[in-house]
Amino acid sequence: MASYTPSSSLLTNGFRLSLSAPAFRLHRREIPDPKSLKGVREANPDWFIWWRGGIAYSIPVSTKPSTQFGESFDASCADYLPLLAARIQDLLPEKFPEYRLLQRRPFSFVGRKGELVAAVSARLKNPPPLLKHFKIHPMFRLEAKVLEPRTDDAFLGLFVGIRTRSEISAPLMDLVSEGIDLVNLYVVRRTTLPGQRHLIGRIQRVDGGKVYLAESFDDSREISCDSVFLEGSKASFARCLRTLLGDYYGSFEETRWSEEANLLNASAVQQLMDRFAGFFSKSPMFAVAPGLQCTIQEQIGIANTLEYKSVVLSPPVQYCFDASRSKQSPYAWAGLMNHGPFSRDTFAKRSPEILVVFPDTMQGHVERFLRSLRDGVVTSGRQSQFPGGFAKLFGLANPSFQLCKVPVLTDSQSAPGNLYRRTIEKDLRNRSHTPDAALVILSDEHAALPDPDCPYIQSKAILMLAGVPTQQMRFSRISKPPYEVQYILQNVCTALYAKLNGTPWTVSQDKTISDELVIGLGMCELADSRFAKKERFVGITTVFRGDGNYLLSHISQESSYENYPVVLQQSTVAILEEIRQRNGWSRGDTIRIIFHSYKPLKKVEVASVVKNAVEAIGSDFQIEFAFLTVTQDHPFLVIDPGQHGHSSQRNPGAVKGKLVPERGTITQIGRYTRLLSTNGPILMKRANAPLPAPLLIHLHENSTFCDLTYLSEQVLKFTSLSWRSTLPAKKPVSIYYSELIAEMLARLQRVAGWSPAVVNLKLRASRWFL
């Protein structure tokens, strides 16, 4: 494995925090039930209270507390760094009294300069008056965290994050007067009092100075326009500004993206750190506890030494296209063109029948697109990146495309979703056997319809109930010129082949053990809307071989949150038993099972549940077990001062990826925690793209296989296994696929007659969710 030289180092987005003494005075009291903490805090307003493991620890926040709290003792700072981090987090608002506070944990506030819409509007000749009511502000987030870049060398850091916050303050009646359709957008309170929700409800109509709500948290049906604003969501911005700006919307969005990138790219993040360093230098100290001061010091760097490597660089991922791993390529599509897919010799559906569902109004464009899909794309002056077509590239014999026209022109009165559904039902009834897959082509207008009115969701539901995986295409995509279509077809064919149960490619794996499985654990909250109480949950499990070969997915039965651990353990045992029989495990075999979960569930010890499931399949095997949390929900960023970037093909002369760590950089930030950079300079599309956030990988302490470098490298390989695209994903497919399944299940449940049971019965091995 290649590694950074000892002289190289990385910078983080944090400042080191030093403490003035090695110990401090702390108080503690036994409080077994954390639900009682709210009352305890209200009864002891002069104390900062922090709870762990049945004990409430406290620090007085005034010189003469009005109450007494438990027994006091001398506490070592090194033993209570998480408590001190929480105390520092509690004090941060005092450092920024002049800024608009958004939330205390994590501490977030709105910047007073750098509003983006005003900067973009200044470039317009005649900006519409209402545009001044649309704001995109920089938002800053500060979090105190414990860092341990070398084992037994833990300390506190203060991490600075930046993102944007959008707000719309235009009067609703003025938006309506401009012809903006507000139906199904959301409204928020202009002024939110303590205990109130900011979000109010979804708009049914606006009339006579009142907003009539289709749904809300408190079942209110109407509210005055003067007491609400439109929610500053992407959907609200897009719908309003498309109407207000008309033909200028596209150029507005491009300029807005560029302005936002100038806030978020690597150079801007480093400049932000320099500004915060100057700000903190004026007042670097604050009291954490009686006799204990905290000082904000220099920006945190993580460097290798001769004795310890905190930063390593994983070898580049090699894509494999045959079982012996002799056919490899560093790039997925180049490997497919040179070697064909991994399952070329074992693929069962050599002549698949593919149903093509499309509106009768775009038949000419659809037929031209299908010719490109079948025969390949010819580009003038450049080598084609989709030569030969679907059959030649993927080793098929005679794939057929069977047209199913939706009579949009002759039946314009029917709802588009119902029209697509009826047309597909009629086609399936008239067939002697079902197609192997389906392409569903929509107009952009129909694709944007809300669920369940969207034709794609209706089409997907009826086709999946028949056991047919589907692929959606929009008219704006299939009508692109040949140079762009060839790249679109790369992704379409890769996903389509995978949905037909093919394996486009895999990666290398450890062959020193009998079998290795990677199991992704996810969960879907079944709620009909943002306002419905989330009482029903299903577990989502995706199973892969160690080389990334997709085996199956499983959807558990619905359950309450309280019963979810039991359902999870039962489904995990059933899956492991099935894999044990399928893979032919024998007595004495060494089996490695690695679990990936996106984030810990509150009050659910998933690792313990999974460990019990592993033990339940028997003691005949030598089982190595690792449980990883793999998430993007963290405050850490990494900057590489030695990265000079790469030339941009999109913008000749420009440099992309400056200060961005290489893909595969693994950085230790805790004994059981690593940061993994999955998007390096080469993969960045634009010169001023935002600094990519690394994945945070945390290994559960009860794991029996604990090689975090190996596990981190495996996570990196699994980001290269997404068959939704020929480019790596931001997350490993063990997490990404579970998210795609959850997203699609949440949409499909709104369709009448839908049942998720079909996923476990007819489509268990299909990648229907790509």
For the stretch 684-698, pLDDT in tens is 888 889 999 999 999
Mean pLDDT over residues 466-473, rounded? Answer: 93
Q: Tell me if 768 sits within 8 A of 760, measured CB to CB.
A: no
Is residue 2's pLDDT more than 50? no
- Amino acid 225 reads C
Question: pLDDT averaged over the chain?
Answer: 89
**Residue 565 — pLDDT band, cuts 50, 70, 90?**
confident
Residue 94 per-residue DSSP state: G
**Residues ≥6 apart with Cβ < 8 Å to 741:** 522, 524, 540, 542, 553, 555, 759, 769
pLDDT in tens, 114-128: 999 999 999 988 899
Residue-level pLDDT at 578: 86
Residue-level pLDDT at 6: 35
Is residue 66's pLDDT more than 60? yes
- Candidates 507, 506, 504; CA nearest to 495 is 504
**Residue 534 — pLDDT band, cuts 50, 70, 90?**
low
Residue-level pLDDT at 204: 93
Mean pLDDT over residues 466-481, rounded? Answer: 93
**Residue 731 — pLDDT band, cuts 50, 70, 90?**
very high
Q: What is the DSSP code string of 478-538?
A: HTS-HHHHHHHHHHHHHHHHHHTT----EE----SSSEEEEEEEEEEEE-SSTTS---EEE
Residue-level pLDDT at 491: 94
- Candidates 484, 603, 503; CA nearest to 551 is 503
User: Taking each helix axis from N to C terminus, what angle separates 455-465 and 416-429, rounded to the nearest 10 degrees?
Assistant: 30
C-alpha 597/C-alpha 630 separation (Å) is 6
pLDDT in tens, 149-187: 998 899 999 999 999 999 999 999 999 999 999 998 999
> How would you class 13 by CB atoms within 10 Å of its CB: exposed for 0-12, middle for 13-18, buried for 19 or more?
buried
Is residue 109's pLDDT more than 70? yes
Among left, alpha and beta (phi > 0; psi -120 to 50; other), residue 70 is left
C-alpha 689/C-alpha 672 separation (Å) is 31
Whole-prediction pTM: 0.92
Torsion of CA 492, 498, 501, 505, to 10 degrees: 140
- Where helices occur in 617-721 by DSSP H, the ranges are 708-719
Residue 272 per-residue DSSP state: H
Residue-level pLDDT at 535: 57
| Pair of tokens at residue 134 | 């649309």
Is residue 346's pLDDT more than 50? yes
Pick the more confident residue, 621 or 386. 386
Per DSSP bridges, beta strands 590-597 and 655-656 are unpaired
Mean pLDDT over residues 1-28, rounded? Answer: 80
C-alpha 738/C-alpha 346 separation (Å) is 26
Beginning with the edge strand found earlier in the chain, give each strand of the sheet holding 536-545 in spatial order: 311-313, 665-670, 673-676, 695-699, 622-631, 590-597, 515-526, 536-545, 550-555
Mean pLDDT over residues 373-398, rounded? Answer: 89
> How would you class 698 by CB atoms within 10 Å of its CB: exposed for 0-12, middle for 13-18, buried for 19 or more?
buried
Q: Tell me if 137 sits within 8 A of 164, measured CB to CB.
A: yes
Torsion of CA 572, 577, 580, 581, to 10 degrees: -140
Count of CB atoms situated within 10 Å of the CB of 95: 16
